[in-house]
Amino acid sequence: MYIKLNSHVPNLIFYKSNINRENFLVFGCSTIAIAMKGLYAYEYTYPLLCMKNNDAFLYKNLTAYDQILFVRAFQTALEHFGKENCWCLKKINNAGFKGFTTSKKTKLMYKGHDARPLILNMTGRNYSEENPIIVKRCECNSQYCLNPSHYYWGTRKDVAYENAKVNNKSIDVDLISKLRTESNSGVSSRKLSKHYRLPYHSVRRICSGETYENAEEKEEQYNEEKIWSNLSDICVNLMRAHPNEAKNFRGVVTETQHYECPWHIQGNTKHKGNFGIMGECLDCMQEIKKARCTVDVREFEMKWYWQVKRFWEQVDIKGEDDCWEWQGATRKNGTESTAYFPSPFHSGKTQSAPRIAFWLSRGYTGKYRIFSQPECKAFCCNPKHLMIKGLREIPQCKAIKDIKLHHENILQYHRERNKQS
């Protein structure tokens, strides 16, 4: 027997027990129509107000397994597309995107439900009465995009703002500020229109505040670095909360607090247990953003020393701007390079030579793909020529600080460093 509650209850806090799970879940909503069968809620119409991170999945009766599938989709998309590109799933046939469908004309679906509230919640951004509408940024060119940085909660004014940016691609925040400053100083909209070669009506509406209202504030609120940081934290917490489900997927990050990055020094808290959604060392990522680049075997603990030394001995190191060709093993008729270097986030014990070269010169990036420049020779291992796919915020290495492949008394060197630590 179904008991249907058609009345809209403001700020409802609804407790329910799911027979298939052990824990109780707390849900909140602004206006919601609930249909119940016993204690099991199966329908709702609006996103939740008071839910915690990771609970967004549960308001649509998605299991822990479904949550891990969602996390796996983010990992797959980051690996294949990178952060800056659209993650359009329209014609993607990949097991990593299991559960996603593009049957609706206007939005991406997950397990039969709108995926966008879940995408936003995975970055710590939840529904509120002040911002009740999901807005797609003008940079996104697909209705079926999974990229969390391409959505945000907003209002109808935000929708108009994004549409205006699409229609006037040459207009940015700096130009809007210039137009309003000059307009306030007495310059007419017609003169500004001729000077900046923009439609008169567009300039007039910008100067009067009819369009691009609070454009500067909107851009300041959009913190892309915080979005990706929240996504990484929430995904890792989800996988730690459901280790049994996460074990079903090869290479998924679960318990990382005891893992050590190759750059970890004994007695130091850095480079240990601090990994992101792709298994990247977050301490290393900070160093990479500062353009760290060094080929120095002394940077690593004794347990890594011989392995690091052995790798660089198989690289033909030349001038700083020349290609450093890989002279070690290859596979698939010489189309892929391979080198021994175990990683906790990879099933195999071998990696491509450019990937290991990046790890040992700039930092440990986990499952992110490493590419050399198009003009490079095959399997180039020069750190200056290597880059991470899809990470625009990572600067290219401009200079190699040190090239040190030997140490006269390596044992004594490590003994002294251990004493200091």
Q: Check residue 329 and give its pLDDT.
A: 92
DSSP 182-248: HHHTT--HHHHHHHHT--HHHHHHHHHTSSSTTHHHHHHH--HHHHHHHHHHHHHHHHHH-HHHHTT
Residue 17: phi, psi to the nearest 5?
A: -110, 125
pLDDT in 10s for each residue of the chain, 421 residues: 333 333 333 333 333 333 333 332 333 333 333 333 333 232 333 333 333 444 555 555 778 888 888 888 888 888 778 787 888 888 777 777 888 988 888 899 988 888 898 888 888 888 888 888 888 888 888 889 999 989 988 888 788 778 777 776 567 777 888 888 888 888 898 888 888 888 888 788 788 877 666 655 555 556 777 888 888 888 878 877 887 777 766 545 555 667 888 888 877 888 887 887 777 888 898 888 888 899 988 888 888 888 888 899 899 988 888 999 999 999 988 889 999 988 877 878 899 999 999 999 999 988 888 888 888 988 999 999 998 876 766 778 888 887 887 765 655 665 666 666 5
Torsion angle of alpha carbons 54, 55, 56, 57, nearest 10°? 80
Are 224 and 167 spatial neighbours (Cβ–Cβ below 8 Å)? no
Q: Is the dihedral of CA 357, 360, 365, 366 positive or negative?
A: positive
CA pair distance 328, 204, nearest whole angstrom = 65
Q: Looking at this protein, which amino acid is placed at residue 289?
A: K
Residue 159: phi, psi to the nearest 5?
A: -65, -45
CA pair distance 79, 68, nearest whole angstrom = 17
CA pair distance 9, 179, nearest whole angstrom = 46
Q: Check residue 40 and give its pLDDT.
A: 29
Are 352 and 339 spatial neighbours (Cβ–Cβ below 8 Å)? yes
Tokens representing 137? 């940024």
Are 32 and 9 spatial neighbours (Cβ–Cβ below 8 Å)? yes
Tokens representing 58? 């549960």
**Exposed, middle or buried by CB within 10 Å (0-12, 13-18, 19+), for 392?**
exposed
- Write the CB contacts of 214 (distance below 8 Å, at least 6 apart in sequence): none
- The domain limits of the chain are 1-46, 53-171+212-249, 256-420
C-alpha distances in Å from residue 6, one per residue of 34, 42, 349? 7, 14, 58
Are 351 and 261 spatial neighbours (Cβ–Cβ below 8 Å)? no
Are 17 and 2 spatial neighbours (Cβ–Cβ below 8 Å)? no
DSSP label of 397: P
CA pair distance 242, 67, nearest whole angstrom = 9
Q: Check residue 356 and give its pLDDT.
A: 93
- Write the CB contacts of 29 (distance below 8 Å, at least 6 apart in sequence): 12, 14, 44, 46, 47, 48, 49
DSSP label of 140: -
Q: For the whole model, what pTM was predicted?
A: 0.57
Q: For 39, left (φ over 0), alpha (ψ -120 to 50), or beta?
A: alpha
CA atoms within 13 A on the CB side of 372: 23
Q: Check residue 404 and give its pLDDT.
A: 80
